[in-house]
Structure 1
Amino acid sequence: MDSLELDDLCSHVNSKISIIKKTLQLRHIGQEPSLRNVLSKVAYELHLLCGLLNRAETEVQRQETIAKSLKELQMTLERDAKEVSHISDNIPPHLPKKCPNSNTVPGEEPPVEVKVIAPEPAKKPVKEKHIKEMELITVQEFANVPAYMKNRLTYEQINHLIEDFNKAVVGKYKIMHQPLKSLNNVARKQLGRFKEEETADTKGLFFIVDQDIKDFTQVKVDKRFHGMLSILRHCHRIREQRGKGIVRYVVC
């Protein structure tokens, strides 16, 4: 046998002997009075550490719940702000004025009668046709979505998709509601496609197709996009209608 191989064998045997000695020493470590106090302190510190970790986990969960509630509150406030802004921008120009009191105090001049001139009837504005949009999903709805549908998707990503989806719906139906003469060449081509995609079953419905997502948003129509649509179907925000080789996403 080569001397190098013999040295390696000896080194290996000595290493195993050393491990066996340490193992035998550790077997009796709990019986030595000098080490019992150390082991007790280690066990106590581990117990305290576990308690701290449990409290930290509880606090993290509480903060996540608060963050979700604040997100919902923010969305509610944004909707209320839009409604207030709309009301402020549409205050009637002529409001009824308070008539002066007919009772006058002796020694005072009677109030000057103010004649209120009725305003000329304004031309009736053209009423915009209502376009149905999707409502954002709530935290509770997202929590009830099966895990296999969510994958790594988040609550915020789904609501961002809903906003883009609504953008495409509004963009499409604004073109459909405009007079043909007011449309440019691109919009006229889109209008032709919109009408070709209509069927007897889509009358009165609001829907878009993949091409509308591409035309009116920056969203990529890929596997991830269609995975997010499955969540919207589960939450009853959209339903699919097929025909003429086209998949239509109908707003519920």
Structure 2
Amino acid sequence: MDSNTLEELGQHFCDKVEGIKKCMQIHDCVNNDNCQQLLQSIHMQLIGAEDVISHLKQAVASERQKLAEAQESMKEYKEFLDNIHYMSTHLPSRLPGKPTSQIEEKTRVNKGVLQSRASENRTEEVQPAVTSKYNAKKRFPKTEYLTVDEYQEIPKYMKGRLSYDMMNNVVDGINKVIEYKYKLKAQPRNTVGENNMKKRKQWKQQENKETQGLHFFVDDDYKKYSGLKLDKATGSVFTILRHLGRLTEVRGGGCTRYCLSSY
């Protein structure tokens, strides 16, 4: 008992008296049939409530298990969607019918707008000392990638074990060589070092009447500037590209020139 005032002490004894009165009332119910029936009914209801609560606990546990499984499935589904999104945004540009993504289109439009504004705001533009006929992008030809239909129509004796990707990797190498060679040829003499001048002189010596107006490379160019190996498989791809009309050969002077047929 912890009372600090007479009022608290009086309240304490009042609570005790009320407790005793309730105990007396309950004691009197022992011999009362109505009270016994009421208590029995309450007992049965408590048992029923315990059963309901037990079933509810089982249902809650089951739903928690389902929720955990659903969350795991959602995580896997999100990873799947991320993979699909990554693949769809990184499709090789050489695939036939690949649409231009909205991001690429938006970037292209924004770039055009910025270039237009810069042109409008420019009061005086310094022109380069020499304008090369190869400076424009359209001046650099490119070998077109093989389509799936073309790949499937290649005779088996020519195709062998060459895959679709292997052939188009060689096409990438050819385009890299052509771009490097003709960009270097287009540079003014006073901007080209001694080593590059030797390359240009060598390329000039490889030209003849049959190569006039054509863009070509030789085996040595492919070895040095494509970043790829020049092996038997590469030679087979060159043969297939000739078969498809992508390349033509001009022989003579101790070397074979691979000319781009169209651009």
TM-score normalized with structure 2 length? 0.54
More helix by share: 2
- Candidates 242, 245, 248, aligned match of 1:236: 245
1:140 partner amino acid: D
1:92-117 alpha-carbon deviations (Å, 9 max, x no partner): 12689xxxxxxxxxxxxxxxxxxxxx
| Alignment of 1:138 onto 2:138 | no
Shift in alpha-carbon separation, 1:119–1:160, aligned structure 2, 3 A: closer
Partner Cα separation in structure 2 for residue 79 and residue 231 of structure 1: 32
Matches within 5 A, 1:206-225: 206-225=215-234
Shift in alpha-carbon separation, 1:134–1:121, aligned structure 2, 3 A: same
| Alignment of 1:200 onto 2:181 | no
Residue 192 of structure 2: aligned partner: 183
Residue 123 of structure 2: aligned partner: 120
| Alignment of 1:93 onto 2:102 | no
Shift in alpha-carbon separation, 1:202–1:88, aligned structure 2, 3 A: farther
- Which has the larger displacement, 70-79 or 233-242? 70-79
Matches within 5 A, 1:1-252: 76-77=98-99, 85=107, 88-90=110-112, 91-93=115-117, 120-123=123-126, 126=131, 128-129=135-136, 130-252=139-261
Query: What is the Cα-based RMSD across aligned positions, in Å?
Result: 3.1
Partner Cα separation in structure 1 for residue 211 and residue 103 of structure 2: 34
Shift of 1:89: 3.2
1:108-146 alpha-carbon deviations (Å, 9 max, x no partner): xxxxxxxxxx86253456461411111111000111100
Structure 2: runs of 5 or more not aligned: 1-87
Partner Cα separation in structure 1 for residue 103 and residue 254 of structure 2: 42
Q: Percent identity?
A: 29
Residue 44 of structure 1: aligned partner: none
Shift in alpha-carbon separation, 1:190–1:79, aligned structure 2, 3 A: farther
TM-score normalized with structure 1 length? 0.56
Provide the secondary structure at the position in 2 that maps to 1:242.
strand
Partner Cα separation in structure 2 for residue 147 and residue 209 of structure 1: 26
